[in-house]
Amino acid sequence: MTIAEIAKRAGVSKACVSRYLNNGYVSEEKKKQIRAVIEETGYTPSRQAQGLRTGKTHTIGVVLPKIDSETISMIASGISQVLTEKGFRMLLANTENEVRKELQYLDLFKNDKVDGVIFIATLLSDLHRDIIQSMPMPVVMVGQRADYLSCIFHDDRGAARELTELMMNKGRKHIGYIGVTEEDHAAGAERYAGFSEALAQGGMRIDPKRVQLSDFTLESGYAAAERLMTASPDTDAIFCATDNIGIGAMQYLKGIGKRIPEDVMVVGTGHSKMSEIVTPTLTTAHYFYHNSGIEAAHMLLELLENGIDMKKQIKLGYELVEQESTAG
């Protein structure tokens, strides 16, 4: 089945069918005629042929840090929802949280046949910036903020500040912090800034003995809580930069006989499924990860339509989810 045959059956011109297949303007009446023939015949246009005619592949590269992450899967689902509706394909690049692989995939997409790239970022370096700024196609970043490209990010600072204030308002005076490296601007620097602001506004100082770094695993959260409580056993509340860290910290606290929240309150960030089923349930901040994927895909398609020089940034809000780990 060819475009000429589709046109003949539908009673329209070949140019009209071509415009229809490439999302150009076609009257509603002619759209119905063409659609009816396509549905009747099961015709599927060749993407390769379309790409040769238009210079577009209708393929979007998506660079993500860990495909089996609950958070990342929600973002990817939002991206896929929009791209599928708009007739685009996703080409996934899973980096396994390795910066080297991120740079390799960004460089690969720079020279490959994709119309645009969505980058779900963790750490950002000068090398990231140099590659992204040299890319000939639009790039949208999710999860981090940078002035040199369009991005969707969360109010990490606001969420951390409100979670810390929650524990302070419940009378906690010796509040610890378990976070990730500040090289991760969102989960590290911004959440630590929100924690620090809350303490300062409440007239409290940061005790270095109560500040520990972790990675994103339960095991690392457990180990960080052990170091924190050993150095400062009078700690009565802990802000954790992620839910996984928080759940790991609670496992340690329960293991040494601490009652949660009576002896030590704990909060996390992200509102993972685990935060709802762990005992006690974990107070956290809900981020709209699925929506961030939807917004990123819409933003990229807008850039494809209007030009890559436009820089657009959207900060998404959050919802505080108070559960048993701060009850009372």
Whether the per-residue pLDDT at 296 is higher than 80: the answer is yes
> What is the average per-residue pLDDT within 163-176?
97
What is residue 115's DSSP assignment?
S
> What is the average per-residue pLDDT within 93-117?
88
**pLDDT-based confidence at 67, cuts 50/70/90?**
confident
Sort residue 294 into left (φ over 0), alpha (ψ -120 to 50) or beta.
Answer: alpha
What is the per-residue pLDDT for 1?
A: 65
**pLDDT-based confidence at 34, cuts 50/70/90?**
confident
Per residue in 176-213, pLDDT tens? 999 999 989 999 999 999 999 999 999 999 999 999 99
Per residue in 220-254, pLDDT tens? 999 999 999 999 999 999 999 999 999 999 999 99
**pLDDT-based confidence at 325, cuts 50/70/90?**
very high
Per residue in 268-295, pLDDT tens? 999 999 999 999 999 999 999 999 999 9
Whether the per-residue pLDDT at 54 is higher than 70: the answer is no
**Amino acid identity, residue 225?**
A
Whether the per-residue pLDDT at 4 is higher than 50: the answer is yes
Give the separation between CA 136 and CA 303, rounded to whole angstroms.
Answer: 12
Whether the per-residue pLDDT at 47 is higher than 60: the answer is no
CA–chain centroid gap for 53, Å, is 34
Give the separation between CA 143 and CA 295, rounded to whole angstroms.
Answer: 12
End-to-end CA distance of the chain: 70
CA–CA distances in Å: residue 124 to residues 98, 145, 176: 12, 9, 27
Q: What is the mean pLDDT of the chain?
A: 90
> What is the average per-residue pLDDT within 56-78?
90
Whether the per-residue pLDDT at 219 is higher than 60: the answer is yes
CA–CA distances in Å: residue 318 to residues 143, 256, 269: 13, 33, 10
Query: Within 13 Å of residue 134, how many CA atoms lie on the same side as its CB?
Result: 13
What is the per-residue pLDDT for 10?
A: 86
The DSSP element (H or E) to which 125 belongs, if any, is none
